[in-house]
Amino acid sequence: MSFQIAQISDCHLFADKHEISYQGINPYVSLEAVLAKVAQNGPDLVIVSGDVSADESLTSYQHFSHLWSQSEISAPLLVIPGNHDDLASLDKELNASAGWPVSRSAGVYWRIHALNTKAQGTAGAISTNQLDYINQQVSMNPEAHHLLVVHHHPFACGGWMDNHPWHNSDTFVAQVSKHQQIKAVIYGHIHHASHRQHEHCWYLSAPSTCWQWAISAQFSTSEEAPGYRVISLNNNGLVDSHIIRI
């Protein structure tokens, strides 16, 4: 048995739902198509790993709410902020004042912890309070397997997005390394699907639901299509994952 997660990320919705940007893609239309795919696959939970909005407008979050309702996805929704998000508007429209960090059970054997790495500008940081929170949650649930959700990339991606880094990611990774129970960290930000194992933990990034970034020294888009990541949390602590594109 496994618990199925659909991870979508970096929707970058504008107040104007007709606006088209990179790759000739309208982020409102592409998100609608991604959510239709998610609905077909029937996950147990949908996670948005940041950057719902491109312009921090309340209207952009209302667009997300409309598309979510229209999709008729039956799974619950868990959203964290990205560097482009307005915390107050995001919390008001999508999270019902849940705040971050926040945790929830994923079936019987897993716990998911959603964190906030938004800092000044486009860079990321995680607070000491949130690092303490991770310790507390693992200590309180030592027999469970744990998955962490963040926005910024914990490791350098080797491309131009490394100009928008997570400043204390090394401290975060060191914290994860202390806990064998933390099996996976999922994130967005780089608009590129990637996976790597560091010690006992998998680090998985999701594609954007709109524009895909190339891993290159200078700003560039890739030809890959929008999509999302499917994550299977197995009862034995193993993690399986793959990408679905539209």
Provide the pLDDT for residue 92.
Answer: 87
Average pLDDT of the residues of the chain: 95
Q: Name the percent of the chain lying above pLDDT 70.
A: 98
Q: What is the mean pLDDT of residues 203-223?
A: 95
> Which of 93, 92, 28 minimizes the C-alpha distance to 54?
28
Q: What is the mean pLDDT of residues 16-26?
A: 94
Q: How confident is the model at residue 130 (pLDDT cuts 50, 70, 90)?
A: very high
Global pTM reads: 0.96
Q: What is the pLDDT of residues 157-208, one digit of tens each?
A: 999 999 999 999 999 999 999 999 999 999 999 999 999 999 999 999 999 9
> Which of 194, 190, 184 minimizes the C-alpha distance to 111?
184
Tokens 């006992």 belong to 200
Provide the pLDDT for residue 45.
Answer: 97
Tokens 């397997």 belong to 145
Q: Are 51 and 84 in contact (CB under 8 A)?
A: yes
Provide the pLDDT for residue 95.
Answer: 78
Give the CA distances from residue 196 to residues 155, 189, 201, 211, in Å, rounded to whole numbers and listed in that order: 10, 16, 9, 22
Neighbours of 158 (CB within 10 A): 12
Provide the pLDDT for residue 226.
Answer: 97
Q: What is the mean pLDDT of residues 108-118?
A: 96
- Please compute Rg for the chain using Cα positions: 17
Q: Which domains does the chain have, with CATH numbers?
A: 2-245 (3.60.21.10)
Q: What is the pLDDT of residues 49-99, one digit of tens each?
A: 999 999 999 999 999 999 999 999 999 999 999 999 999 999 889 875 456
> Which of 245, 169, 206 minimizes the C-alpha distance to 80?
206
Provide the pLDDT for residue 96.
Answer: 59
Provide the pLDDT for residue 98.
Answer: 57
